[in-house]
Structure 1
Amino acid sequence: MSNPSGEPGKPATIRDVAAAAGVSIGTASKALNGRGRMRDETRTRVTAAAELLDFRPNTLAQGLLAGRTHTVGLVTGDSFGRFSIPVMLGAEDALGAGQISVFMCDARDDPIRERHYVQRLLARRVEGIIVTGRRTESRQSIGTDLPVPVVYAMTQSTEPTDISVIPDDFGGGVLATRHLLATGRTRIGHITGPERFQAARLRAAGLSEALGEAGAEPAGAPLFGDWSEEWGRQGADILLRARPELDAIFCGSDQIARGAAETLRERGLLIPNDVALVGFDNWEPMALGSRPPLTTVDMNLGEIGRVAAEHLLDAIAGSPPPGGVQTVPCELVLRESTRVALT
């Protein structure tokens, strides 16, 4: 129905509800918010008028009156969105339960843009900020004197009092290696990204740990290079020349694994019959596009976002968890590249 202002289609306002109930705007507001002392008859009359007019309260205005905006900011340096979008979706799942909206800002790895966006978010009175990126390396804190809590996801702050949530890259390396060992592979090579990256070093360390537990030796030292298919092709060629007897390759990313698969095919080697192959990331365009589809380690980016958001909500509520770095376990996704042939 139209509201008493005589403008069909225009949403009813608190002023319209007050007029229809015959009370002041202040009384109508208190009645609908369950605040203030008034007669039950008055509260019932206001509620009935609101229902009749299909009144929808302005939640932002209500929040501002209560010192709340029910919004948080997400600042990312991952322009491509490969990591930040899954993290954001996980965060939104956790925040949505509390009806919190998210403002996402792309800083493009530019510290000046990042500072600008942080100030813009604070001007919008967000209640907290999640900072995310495309690598787990330590980064400078966006500030320890901000008026709102901050949590880092898929990146970590150099400030020990900050809360950071990252994937367990070491555990992921252990998972991949134990799986290969369980399928009977014992001569396992490793091709991964640049050694300067913490993720590459930790995944290689996980491989070494799992092999040591099993009393096995790696098929040569880890080959550090680029996060690229081209490096996967080159790395597999280097491995096969040096260790032609290898029966498995654990790659530090799905892109590297897809490149390695090409070299194996060119050499006439069957995957997984001759050489089993495991990637890392569970980036579906790469993992499913590879032939055969890749067994890979999933970093649980959505879970990282969810955990970060829950920590932020706790901090907003006045119960922040202790600072430091929290790791989220990875998961192994099984596909044809390590399938054990039935005999």
Structure 2
Amino acid sequence: MSSELSNESVSRQMQSVTIHDVAREAGVSIGTVSKALNGQGKLKSETRERIQEVATRLGFRPNMMAQNLLRGRSYTVGLLTTDSYGRFSIPLMKGIEDALGTAQILVFLCDARDDAQRERQYIETLLSKRVDGIIVTSRRTDPRPAIDVGQTGLPVLYAYTQVKEGNALCILPDDEQGARLAIEHLVEHGRRHISHIMGPSHFESTQLRQKAVRQVLKEAGLATHEQRFLSGPWQESWGYNATQFLITSDPQVDAIFCGNDQIARGTIDMLRELGRKVPDDIAVIGFDNWEIIAASSRPPLTTVDLDIYHLGQLAGSRLLAMIDGSRETGVIRHPCHLVIRASCGSHDSVPNL
């Protein structure tokens, strides 16, 4: 019992230690303690070390909130997302946190779930917490309404989503460049009858990728038969059904570029059922590099990686610059890269691009 009381007493004592106690114990002024603990002012090294030793021994912990308010900063930012599944927001957040961590900035993750009222409540909460900035993201890159932060002048950046306002900064994966990497790779490795099984045609990413496919085929002097361009949902079942239709109507096809890895897995399954070998008969390339799907496909799937982690790092570093006064606007397209696996038939001879 006495031991418990002793521990409780020590705990209370540590909680009640103030900067006044540190100053009195070290025999200096409160201002000198503040300078020593904040790394400010011109103090002798022995004085600074003595004050830090006293603060540690007494268990003094500075009030970071009060210090940040004096600096006019909260050292927090908000990450507002509609990606409830976390497929894109989680790697994005990791990149953002790593970029902001060096500046000792914390990230509040807010999932709005495509609910306008919920999003507005989160924005109001973030503003009340006096965050230093907000990054808005989504599970798709198509334009969305800009968020309203009133007259606060708070820095807002859009990552893996975009708005049409000209005064906004938006950072997106370069879908067109990524699709170009895939088709150029297929052409370079002898494929001449290339099909594109894509996602819904109204998505901007679908339109940009299709544009790149047609352009590369044209540059290579290859035909762009319309029946080889098929649009449907972002689903494995769509890849499965579209591939059956495609190969039945156009048996010459020797390569299929798919709109995402789920579509590609459906494609590979149907090719297996049709007795077509991947990659010997038909090469397959996906998009997204969703590791749980791409690496476990049979054979493992060559795919375009959106490099979302580094896109998040870029977003974090640009938001830091905005917090420091930069006012960059426009759209930044972050490059993708191709991850070579067995499904395109060149994984042994060609390194990852």
- TM above 0.5, yes or no, is yes
2:273 aligned residue: 266
Aligned partner of 1:33 among 12, 29, 38: 38
2:98 aligned residue: 93
The one-letter amino acid paired with 1:132 is: T
Say which SS state the counterpart of residue 305 (structure 1) adopts: helix
1:47-58 maps to which residues of 2 (within 5 A)? 47-53=52-58, 55-58=60-63
Worse-superposed segment, 125-134 or 28-37: 28-37
2:309 aligned residue: 302
Worse-superposed segment, 20-29 or 71-80: 20-29
Runs (5+) with no aligned partner, structure 2: 1-6, 349-353
Say which SS state the counterpart of residue 239 (structure 2) adopts: helix
Partner Cα separation in structure 1 for residue 23 and residue 185 of structure 2: 67
Partner Cα separation in structure 2 for residue 13 and residue 292 of structure 1: 64
1:241 aligned residue: 248
Partner Cα separation in structure 1 for residue 43 and residue 188 of structure 2: 72
Aligned partner of 2:168 among 159, 162, 167: 162
Q: Give the alignment's Cα RMSD to 1 decimal.
A: 2.4
State the 1:11 CA deviation: 8.1
2:211 aligned residue: 205
Partner Cα separation in structure 2 for residue 274 and residue 197 of structure 1: 31
Aligned partner of 2:186 among 180, 203, 212: 180
Query: In the TM superposition, what whole-angstrom CA distance separates every residue of 1:258-317 from its partner, at most 9, and x where no partner exists?
Result: 001111000011100000000000001111121111000001111111111111100100
State the 1:208 CA deviation: 0.8
Partner Cα separation in structure 2 for residue 168 and residue 252 of structure 1: 14
Query: In the TM superposition, what whole-angstrom CA distance separates every residue of 1:32-54 from its partner, at most 9, and x where no partner exists?
Result: 33556889886665344224435
Partner Cα separation in structure 2 for residue 217 and residue 296 of structure 1: 23
Aligned partner of 1:76 among 63, 77, 81: 81
Q: Percent identity?
A: 50
State the 1:238 CA deviation: 1.4
Aligned partner of 2:231 among 213, 224, 228: 224
Greater fraction of residues in helix: 2
2:335 aligned residue: 329
- C-alpha change, 1:34 and 1:84, in structure 2 (3 Å) is closer
Aligned partner of 1:140 among 129, 142, 145: 145
1:62 aligns with 2:64: no
Query: In the TM superposition, what whole-angstrom CA distance separates every residue of 1:190-215 from its partner, at most 9, and x where no partner exists?
Result: 10110010111111111111111111
Q: Retained in 2: the 8 A contact 1:14–1:25?
A: yes
1:171 aligned residue: 177
The one-letter amino acid paired with 2:214 is: S
Partner Cα separation in structure 2 for residue 42 and residue 317 of structure 1: 32
- C-alpha change, 1:228 and 1:146, in structure 2 (3 Å) is farther
Aligned partner of 2:121 among 116, 125, 138: 116
Runs (5+) with no aligned partner, structure 1: none
Partner Cα separation in structure 2 for residue 182 and residue 199 of structure 1: 24
Partner Cα separation in structure 1 for residue 103 and residue 39 of structure 2: 20
Q: Retained in 1: the 8 A contact 2:197–2:231?
A: yes
Worse-superposed segment, 18-27 or 146-155: 18-27
Worse-superposed segment, 109-118 or 51-60: 51-60
